Amino acid sequence: MNTMKVAIFAIVAATTALFGGPKSGPEVGAMVFAFEPTHVTGPDAGTDTCPVCKYGNTPAVQVWVHGDSASNVAKIVKVLEAKTAANPAGLKAFVVEVIDKSATKTTEKQLKGLAKSAAAKHVALTYVAKDNSAVSDYEINLGTQVKNTVFVYRNRKVIAKWVNLTADAKGTAALDAAVTKATK
């Protein structure tokens, strides 16, 4: 490893230790904004509809994924599917896979498989390319230390956020509670 890489690694490690973990996505209190993912499944399948524009002030969840395990994402999708199915007019949920442009066909196949295995009808499974401006605008960290960035918002304002949400009992309970709060 050359000196520059060692220095960069040290800075990243020190920053992570100092501030309690990797940073990714908008902070609680920030406003969400327009972007156009490719919808593979869900209500807007086959389009590049902007979820923020179309659903306006409706409570919603965005799950940005880059390198997370399929099983963890599937568990998150199942939690969100149950919540959106119980309140389809009052909650929207979007999984946004961040990919290399060359992986669109593979990603579409994987997302369709995930929708089938998770019985997801209401949760939109979407993707954007790494160079899509939404990735930088939303400050999504594509480093290997970040597997997912999840945020819940209402009236376009972020009310809860996690970086590297683990879909275990504790993680899914926290997500469920935030979604419940957003829909009241």
Tell me: the pLDDT tens digits for 9-66?
A: 334 433 443 456 899 999 999 999 999 999 999 999 999 999 999 999 999 999 999 9
H-run or E-run covering 3: helix 3-19
- Do 26 and 61 form a contact (C-beta atoms < 8 A)? no
Residue 88: band (very low, low, confident or very high) from pLDDT cuts 50, 70, 90: low
Looking at the predicted structure, is the pLDDT value of residue 3 above 80? no
The total of structural domains in the chain comes to 1
Chain center to CA of 160? 12
Nearest to 165 by CA among 155, 156, 177, 157: 177
In this prediction the pTM is 0.88
Residue 73: closest CA among 103, 110, 36, 38: 110
Domain assignment present for 143: yes
User: 10 or 1: which carries more pLDDT confidence?
Assistant: 1
Q: Residue 7 falls within a domain, yes or no? A: no
Nearest to 163 by CA among 21, 16, 15, 12: 21
pLDDT digits (tens, 9 = 90+) for 91-115: 999 999 999 999 999 999 999 999 9
Residue 38 maps to a domain: yes
Q: State residue 163's pLDDT score.
A: 98
**Phi-psi category of 156—alpha, beta or left, where left has phi over 0 and alpha has psi -120 to 50?**
left
pLDDT tens digits along 134-181: 999 999 999 999 999 999 999 999 999 999 999 999 999 999 999 999
The CATH number for 119's domain is 3.40.30.10
Residue 26 lies in a domain: yes
In a domain, 37, yes or no: yes
- Helix 70-86 with 169-182: angle, nearest 10 deg: 30
Give exposure, 85-111, as e/b (b: 16+ Cβ within 10 Å): eeeeeebbbbbbbbbeeeeeeebbebb
Domain that holds residue 66: 22-182
Quote the pLDDT of residue 184.
87
Per-residue pLDDT at 25: 98
Q: Is residue 135 part of a domain?
A: yes
Question: Do residues 157 and 30 make contact, with C-beta atoms less than 8 angstroms apart?
Answer: yes
pLDDT for 21 equals: 86
Residue 126 in any domain: the answer is: yes
Residue 11 lies in a domain: no
